[in-house]
Amino acid sequence: MSTILEAQDLKKYFKTKNGYLHAVDGVSFRIEEGKTLGVVGESGCGKSTLGRIVLHLHESTGGKLFYQGQDITHVNKPRLRQLREDMQIIFQDPFSSLNPRMSVRETIAEPLILNGKERGTDLNNEVDRVMETVGLPQRLADSYPHELDGGRRQRIGIGRALALNPRFIVCDEPVSALDVSIQAQILNLLQDLQEEKKLSYMFITHDLSVVKYISHDIAVMYLGQLVEKAETKALFARPAHPYTKALLSAILLPDIHAKKERIILKGEITSPINPPKGCRFAGRCQYATSRCEEEQKLEEVEKNHFVACCRAKELGM
């Protein structure tokens, strides 16, 4: 299996009037071909920014990015256009990410036209093929987004991302705006597409049950940094970081017999502007000690399971 995307120590700082906002602060990960990396975290943790840096929708402040072994940290325009054929994104909100003045056909055709792929009847055939792949009936080809419900709109978003036959897709909360019955349809579709086309996903979400369902590996993000990274099974079975534990314990299961002890976190995420050098979770952590004021690095606690917490080992997993 080969690595499709690798990030080393990625950083993105935004300048604000109160100082630098550390949106993404030294994040490293690797996504294997045909696999899904789930990135979980709460609002403001930098997960969407991370997805955008990967696609050069934001330029990173520091760190390195490799696509199929090639350094793509800094690329020129023609190369970027090439890359975009391979790397696409699906957005959360299918209401605002589609042009209301473009029909379904025009929306899906646009990336094909822009990249000079197809024209004339070939273009139409290609659009038909994409629509079929994402489960949009032909009769909707001339409909406009406002005529369709959220699930179908999200299918357009997926179709548009798929039009150029990408190899890697950033899915930024693709099902969060959808009702559960529709959400399940879209998740199944994303999985079918992955198997069929050997796609790799970076799946960004705040929903832990969704991320468990779809991901092979999971990275947990807190205030711009990864605090834990593991294979999905291991993360759910043996969460090691106090934040991951709290996050998992806060999931509400649709089961009345599953009453369990919740770890209710005190306080809120602190400001990402000029954050402290040490553990950023320490302020809310019940296990925090003076050692947490030092910088925490991801360390391997078992094979392929990394945790950035100096007390993880002694607290037992």
Partner 1 sequence: MESVHKELLKIENLVVEYTSEDNIIHAVNGIDLDILEGETVGLVGETGAGKTTIAKSILRILPDPPAKICGGKIVFQGTDILQMKEEEIRSIRGRQISMIFQDPMTALNPTITVGKQIAEAVGLHEKLTKSERKQKAIQILEKAGISRERYDDFPHQFSGGMKQRAVIAMALVCSPLLLLADEPTTALDVTIQAQVLQMMSELKKEFHTSVLMITHDLGVVAETCDKVAVIYAGEIIEFGTAEDIFDHAAHPYTLGLFGSLPDLNSENRRLKPISGMMPDPAHLPAGCKFYDRCPHASPKCRNSVPDKRKLGQSHYVRCFYSGGNV
Using CB under 8 A as the criterion, which residues of the chain lie in contact with partner 1 when the complex forms?
Answer: 42-43, 149-151, 179-185, 187-188, 191, 206, 208-210, 212-213, 236, 246-247, 249-258, 262, 264-266, 268-269
List the beta bridge partners of residue 201. 36, 169
Please give the distance of CA 29 from its chain centroid, rounded to a whole number. Answer: 12
Nearer to partner 1, 80 or 182 (CB): 182
Q: Identify which of 116, 48, 51, 108 has the alpha carbon closest to the alpha carbon of residue 81.
A: 116
Nearer to partner 1, 197 or 212 (CB): 212
Main-chain dihedrals φ then ψ at residue 309, nearest 5 degrees: -155, 125
* Residue 85: CB minimum distance to partner 1, A: 29
Residue pair 53/12 in contact by the 8 Å Cβ criterion: yes
Q: How far is the CB of 20 from partner 1 (least distance, A)?
A: 21
- Nearest residue (CB) to partner 1, 87 versus 98: 98
Q: How far is the CB of 252 from partner 1 (least distance, A)?
A: 3
Instruction: Compare residues 53 and 211 and give the one whose CB is closer to partner 1.
Output: 211
Residue among 65 and 104 whose Cβ is closer to partner 1 = 104
Task: Encode burial over 71-85: b for 16+ CB neighbours within 10 A, e otherwise.
Answer: ebbebeeeeeeebbe
State in angstroms the smallest separation of the CB of 137 from partner 1. Answer: 12
* H-helix or E-strand spanning residue 247: helix 242-249
What CA dihedral angle connects 98, 102, 108 and 114, to 10 degrees?
A: -100
Residue 204 tokens read as 């960004």
Shortest reach from residue 143's CB to partner 1, in Å: 14
The DSSP bridge pattern shows strands 70-71 and 62-67 to be antiparallel
Find how far residue 82's CA is from the centre of its chain: 22
Residue 158 C-beta: closest distance to partner 1, Å: 15
Residue closer to partner 1 by CB (options 115, 176) is 176
Q: What minimum distance in Å lies between the beta carbon of 36 and partner 1?
A: 11
Entry field: residues in the chain: 317
Q: Which is nearer to partner 1, 75 or 184 (CB)?
A: 184
Q: Which candidate, 149, 164, 170, places its Cα nearest to that of 98?
A: 149
Burial of residue 269, with CB atoms counted within 10 A of its CB: 0-12 exposed, 13-18 middle, 19 or more buried:
middle
